[in-house]
């Protein structure tokens, strides 16, 4: 799982969830009881894993992870909507 592009581990998932809540590195470190430098290392690994090499890296990562959360939910809603429409025509 570690070597698959796009996959993240449980600790990285916690960090990303806090990022999406708007926490900065210091807040993430406090919340997860780790050193701020460790948080930064996790972020650097995530940037590498997702090919984020320039610009506003935190924003790019947050946007990517937010989209990955919402797109599966949107597909589920589309499937439910399609199923409901099919039932209405039967």
Summary mean pLDDT of the chain: 80
Q: Which helix (H) or strand (E) holds 45?
A: helix 36-49
* Distance in angstroms (rounded) separating the CA atoms of residues 42 and 10: 12
Confidence check: pLDDT of 18 > 90: yes
Q: Locate 51 and state its tokens.
A: 């090919």
- The domain spans of the chain are 10-89
Burial 40-57 (b: 16+ CB within 10 A, else e): eebbeebbebbebeeeee
Tens digits of residue pLDDT in 40-83: 999 999 999 989 988 899 899 999 888 887 765 555 455 545 55
Tens digits of residue pLDDT in 51-62: 998 889 989 999
Confidence check: pLDDT of 11 > 50: yes
pTM of the predicted model, to two decimals?
A: 0.68
CATH architecture group of domain 10-89: Orthogonal Bundle (1.10)
């Amino acid at each position: 799982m570690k070597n698959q592009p796009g996959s993240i581990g449980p600790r990285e998932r916690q960090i990303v969830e806090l990022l999406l809540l708007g926490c900065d590195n210091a807040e993430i470190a406090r919340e997860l009881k780790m050193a701020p430098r460790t948080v930064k290392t996790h972020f650097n690994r995530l940037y590498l894993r997702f090919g984020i090499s320039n610009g506003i890296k935190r924003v790019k990562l947050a946007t990517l992870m937010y989209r990955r959360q919402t797109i599966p939910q949107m597909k589920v809603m589309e499937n439910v909507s399609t199923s409901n429409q099919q039932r209405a025509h039967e």
